[in-house]
Amino acid sequence: MSSIIALPPGVDRVKDVHLYPYQADGVAFLVSKKRTILGDDMGLGKTRQAIVAMESAVPEGPVLIVCPASLKLNWRREILLVDREARVEVIGFDKTATADPRWVIVNYDILRKHAERLHGIAWSGIILDEAHFIKNNSQRTSNCLKLLGVSDAARAPLLGPDYVFLLTGTPLTNRPRDLFNLLRCVGHPAARSFLSFAKQYCDAYKNDYGWVTTGASNLDELNLLMKEVMLRRTKDEVLDLPPKVRSWIPVDISDSKAALKANETFLDWYAQTDPQKPNDTEFLAKLTKLRVALHKAKHKAVGERIRDVIEAGQKVVVFTCFNEGVEKHKAQFKDAAVAITGSCSAQQRIEAVDRFQSDASVKLAICNIIAGGAPVTTGHHTVTGRGFGA
């Protein structure tokens, strides 16, 4: 890291937190704006920026973090990296409540269950991670808005904590209406009336059933409006990274009788189908059988490619659609590999990522493409399963 943000005097527990220059700028933005949106690209450290900003702005008092269930343990881990002595309670995971916690982490899905307790606390700050979760009207959104002190009344003042950070890697959507609740949370005047907002930015019109607000209009004006309350940086703008290179490597499967047979069977079946009477269920079933056979046929070549990369001194991430491939590669590379599949708990996923990042003897991370699809920072050579065994 090449920069350390200058924090206010007295915030001793975070004075040694190292940040990239753009992250230091992000912390300064969050602290100065108080209620705002951080829309940085995935992987740029929104979590770390939000934690440091809260510690800087409100070093005392409870802070609530609302996030998807799969990210709760990652938030606790990041908090403890900033402050090793932090009192953190993860609702729904910890067996017993933490005495006088500084940080309380809860996922969106159980907000209603714990509403009485959460609404009874005077929060010093609140962070909504993956804030696009509240774009639609729902009980979940209502609970979040109430926690943030947002009223349905057009000109009612915000009554919640002074510091509210909304984090999202996908702030700009094809439907401006999805931004309305985010703007309400940060108190932007444009969000006082949904109908006025919709007429201005959603190309709203009225039909026989009511107002249609799914369109878009005045987007240049909307982009300028968002810049008033949101900071967004892309990887290309802030990091000096090499370009991503995709290499397609052909694999000879001529020695695999099973794969050739599966391919022949699929083509024969497909040639006899009637395009006027498509059967999606049968098509997907036949195609899956072919994909499984091809996956097995490519396993040896994938293993050889992994070994080549490891011997070149690099770590490797492999994605695959099939758990059978995960298990075979794990058995082949033994303790030099970690695996992430749908059967792994949230704690096991965190431990696997930590081992891959910090243990020099662990050279390979093998991920089911769905289970491993959550944000994972590795900074190493990546082999995608689509080309190697998917």
219 and 271 co-located in one domain = no
| Domain co-membership, 312 together with 233 | no
Give me the amino acid identity at 25: D
Residue 135 burial class via C-beta count within 10 angstroms: exposed 0-12, middle 13-18, buried 19 and up: middle
Question: What pLDDT is attached to residue 136?
Answer: 84
The β-bridge relationship of strands 364-368 and 337-340 is: parallel
Beta bridge partners of 170: none
Of 338, 357, 320, 347, give the one whose Cα is nearest residue 70: 347
Given 3-state DSSP classes, what are the helix, strand and coil percentages for the chain, each rounded to the nearest 5? 45, 15, 40
Q: Are residues 204 and 294 in the same domain?
A: no
The CATH number that applies at residue 175 is 3.40.50.10810
Write down the pLDDT at residue 173: 66
Residue 289 in domain: yes
Number of H helices, E strands in the chain: 13, 13
Please tell me the predicted confidence (pLDDT) of residue 14.
59
Same domain, 374 and 317: yes
Domain assignment present for residue 390? The answer is no
Which residues, in sequence order, are CB contacts of 54 under 8 Å at separation 6+?
Answer: 63, 124, 125, 127, 163, 165
Q: H helices within the chain, ranges in order?
A: 21-33, 46-57, 72-82, 115-119, 139-147, 180-185, 194-201, 219-227, 235-238, 257-271, 280-311, 323-333, 346-358
Q: What is the pLDDT of residue 241?
A: 65
Instruction: Assess whether 227 and 364 both reside in one domain.
Output: no
Query: Do 145 and 233 belong together in one domain?
Result: yes
Domain count, the chain: 2
Q: Find all residues with CB under 8 Å of 112, minimum gap 6, and list them.
A: 139, 140, 143
| CA–CA gap between residue 357 and residue 322 (Å, rounded) | 24
* 96 occurs within a structural domain: yes
* Cβ atoms of 318 and 367 closer than 8 Å: yes
Would you tell me how many other CB atoms lie within 10 Å of the CB of residue 120?
7
**Both tokens of residue 96?**
């017993």
| Distance, C-alpha 206 to centroid of its chain | 36
Query: Is residue 335 assigned to a domain?
Result: yes
Same domain flag for 128 and 30: yes
Q: Does residue 227 sit in the same domain as residue 269?
A: no
Q: Which of 187, 211, 238 is the last residue of a domain?
A: 238
| Structural domain range at position 338 | 257-383
In a domain, 3, yes or no: no
In this structure, the answer to whether residues 289 and 172 fall within a common structural domain is no
**Is residue 339 a contact partner of residue 330, using CB atoms and an 8 Å limit?**
yes
* DSSP class of 129: T
367 within some domain: yes
| Residue 120 forms part of a structural domain | yes
Under DSSP, the state recorded for 316 is E
Are residues 176 and 77 part of one domain? yes
Q: What is the CATH number of the domain that holds 348?
A: 3.40.50.300
Predicted confidence at residue 102, as pLDDT, reads 95
Cα 14 to the chain's mean position, in Å? Answer: 25
C-beta pairs of 90-98 under 8 Å, 24+ apart in sequence: 93/346
The residue whose two tokens read 């998807």 is 68
Farthest CA pair distance, the chain? 76
Residues 265 and 215 occupy one common structural domain: no
Q: Distance (Å, rounded) from C-alpha 5 to C-alpha 40?
A: 18
Predicted local distance difference test score (pLDDT) of residue 379: 43
What was the pLDDT predicted at 374? 56
Query: Is 355 part of any domain?
Result: yes
Domain final residue, candidates 238, 272, 298: 238
Select from 191, 210, 238 the last residue of a domain: 238
Residues 230 and 272 in one domain: no
pLDDT tens series, the chain, 390 aa? 334 445 544 445 556 677 888 999 999 999 999 999 999 988 888 999 999 999 999 999 999 999 988 788 889 989 998 998 999 999 988 877 778 899 999 999 899 999 899 999 999 999 999 898 888 888 888 889 888 888 777 677 778 899 999 999 876 667 899 999 999 999 888 988 899 999 999 999 999 889 999 899 999 999 999 999 999 998 888 877 666 667 677 777 878 899 999 999 999 999 998 888 888 889 999 999 999 999 898 888 888 888 877 876 788 889 888 888 888 999 999 999 999 888 888 888 888 888 988 888 999 999 887 766 555 444 444 443 333 333
pLDDT at residue 372, rounded to an integer: 64
Residues 6+ apart with CB under 8 A from 78: 47, 48, 51
